[in-house]
Chains A and B, each alone.
Chain A
Amino acid sequence: MSHTTRTGEIHVPILARVEGEGALELRIAAGRIEELKLRIFEPPRLFEKLLEGRGPQDVIDSVARICGICPVAYQLSAVAAIESILGVTPTPWVEAMRRVMYCGEWLQSHSLHIHLLAAPDFLGYESAPAMARTYPDEVRRGLRLQGLGNEILRTFGGRSVHPVGVCPGGFFHAPEAATIEALREHLAEGLEEARALIAWTAGLPLPEDDQDFVSVSLRHPRDYPITAGRIVSDRGLDLDPADFAQRFREFQVPHSTALHARLDGHPYLVGPLARLNNNLDRLPAELRELLKELGIHFPSCNMFHSIVARAVEIHVAISEALRLTEGYAPAAEPRVEAPARGGVGFGCTEAPRGILWHRYALDDEARVLEARIVPPTSQNQARMEEDLVASLTRVGLDRDDDALRLHGEMVIRNYDPCISCATHFLDFHVLRK
């Protein structure tokens, strides 16, 4: 059948190896994609409404429950917004240790995605266990790196799932020096593995698929962006997070319980590839040199280079955790006092999947009057649909349904979407007569 004449529909009823529940619907008419919908049907979770009336600590502990993979991102975007309202400036020790904690989350999330979710696609396996029969050492390495990330999370948050250590003004508890010393030994071992991982991902048979898209990320004056920075794009955007709503607009589409988002009316990309594209000069020189040697050129407009970007960020995370814990001593006071105060505040940090923006309005007793959370997956939804149209057209719409379905799933998984994070909102209208 010629791709100029094909007509039909393809449905992927349940997307595998992504967090949450979504589906893909595709209608092809006369050899062209007439309609493509990334359907997200996971029920809305209404988190923003649930936060109303709650105090700062409740918010920090509650938003961690939005996601089992990126709870620290939610906690640290929230605490940044709340501290800006309360007039609290964390100490340099707290800022450094929060960054280390965040590195743990990048490490565990990226390791999981590379080895268990994305790599099987590129190597032609249906699952990670199937891939592990041929690549046991690589999978073991990935699990060790993920375990290292979880070890960091436990060190600062008491546990790796929904950690509980963060509070307004700092941490409830400062880890003992001996604990950090043991962690540093594991980090040093992990750094070598991260270097090998970058080379391995660069050698994967990644599809060539250059596309035109806008990369959006944070940018920090000195560091690779994780916990703070201005919102920038590779097309000249440079914005204080407080002004997010001036340029970014969220809106509902009928086929998704998660909001879509646009920057100045257009889809955009957030996540590891966008971060790396915008912050190459914030990488250590040796990492830039390694990338050059491996022949992967950044900035890249091939979305499939995201897996390499994740490997690079694993190296960044381990390096940063080592740098920031050198000569570690527990703070005598791991937190500063946080008085109750009202106002409006913003927090924006780099979750593993991209920028995570929070806005809170608090009353005079620091209880939430209004909350708004914009997670990365909902920001990427429009870009994913745009990518799917371009990528499926490029591989050939005359391919059989199974081939198109598999390619579509690979494109979606490559974004590491966290659908459970994205479905936090319901635009509810009622018509009464």
Chain B
Amino acid sequence: MTEPGVTREESGERPAGRAHLVGLGSPHGGDRLGWLAVEALREALAGRDDINIDCLAQPVDLFLPRVASSERVLLIDAMRGRGPPGTLEAFAPGELPETAALACLSSLSSHGLDLAGTLALAETLGLFPGGIRILGIEMPAEIPKEADPEMPEPCLNEATRRRLHAAVLGWLDGDAHRDIGPRWPAGPGVP
């Protein structure tokens, strides 16, 4: 696994075409992990000119021209029920869990156009021919604000950031037809 600070793996097998990294979520609660992740990665990937980075609020925003014109896309979303908090798990569109594990599968039905439906439509329309991947980050357990008003908003610790960075570099520089890696369980002490 690549350590932070490594900017590019010159393997000669990098997929061609522009990549788009998208954080799905909203500004508050566990659902903000997708946005936090791409904001952290924005800094780490600042030196690269082959990737665009966006925070989006709903899956249908993938059809915005600036996103839809990309060759391939990696979506980062908060998820629940897939392991200890901080666990990372990668999915292909057809592998999305049937239960509403990913936040945008459960929180925004948008009249039936959820993440799975949006990705099915994108594939039918031939968007992102270089591939679509979804990377879930397990949310911390929900604690009602009333129970602990001082409880901080969920955040990403350094260990999770490192694993995220490695996963995204693996996707960005690896073989386009290879998955970015199925699963990175959280280590001890990860939020």
A interface with B by C-beta (< 8 Å): 16-19, 68-69, 112-113, 116-117, 127-130, 132-133, 136, 139-140, 143-144, 146-147, 150, 159-162, 416, 418, 420
Contacts and interface: CB of A to CB of B under 8 A. Distances in A.
Contact of A117 (B57, B60, B112): B112
Given A128-B117, A139-B121, A144-B65, A160 B111 contact: no
Nearest to B66: A147
Contact of B61 (A68, A113, A160, A418): A160
B111 A136 contact: no
Interface in B55-75: 57-58, 60-61, 63-65
A69 B61 contact: no
Contacts of A117: 111-112
A48 B22 CA distance: 36
A116 B109 contact: no
B113 A116 contact: yes
A17 B58 contact: no
Contact of A139 (B60, B64, B123, B125): B125
Nearest to B67: A147
Nearest to A20: B109
B69 to A, nearest CB: 12
Nearest to A416: B111
B27 to A, nearest CB: 8
Contacts of B61: 147, 150, 160
Contacts of A113: 111
A18 B111 contact: yes
B52 interface: no
A146 B111 contact: no
A417 to B, nearest CB: 10
B117 to A, nearest CB: 7
A161 B57 CA distance: 7
Interface string B107-127: 011111100010011011110
Contacts of A143: 60, 63
A420 B120 CA distance: 24
Contact of A140 (B26, B108, B109, B125): B125
15 contacts: A18-B111, A68-B58, A68-B110, A69-B110, A116-B112, A127-B120, A128-B121, A129-B123, A132-B124, A140-B125, A143-B60, A144-B65, A147-B61, A147-B65, A162-B26
A130 B123 CA distance: 11
Contacts of B58: 68, 160-161
Given A18-B112, A133-B124, A418-B111, 17 more contacts: A16-B112, A17-B111, A19-B109, A68-B58, A68-B109, A68-B110, A116-B113, A117-B111, A128-B121, A130-B124, A147-B61, A147-B65, A150-B64, A159-B57, A161-B26, A161-B58, A161-B108
B64 to A, nearest CB: 5
Most buried by B among A143, A161, A420: A143
Contact of B63 (A146, A159, A161): A146
A126 to B, nearest CB: 12
Contacts of B110: 19, 68-69, 112
Contacts of A144: 63, 65
Contacts of A17: 111-112
A160 B124 contact: no
A113 B113 CA distance: 10
Interface in B76-131: 108-113, 117, 120-121, 123-126
Contacts of B123: 129
A129 B107 CA distance: 21
B57 A19 contact: no
A231 B26 CA distance: 36
A150 B65 CA distance: 12
A84 B123 CA distance: 49
Contacts of B113: 112, 116, 128
A142 to B, nearest CB: 9
A71 B11 CA distance: 48
A112 B121 contact: no
Nearest to B107: A68
Given A160-B57, A160-B58, A129 B120 contact: yes
A112 B112 CA distance: 10
Interface in B124-158: 124-126
Nearest to A117: B111
Q: Which 4 A-B pairs have the closest CB atoms?
A: A143-B63, A129-B120, A132-B124, A161-B57
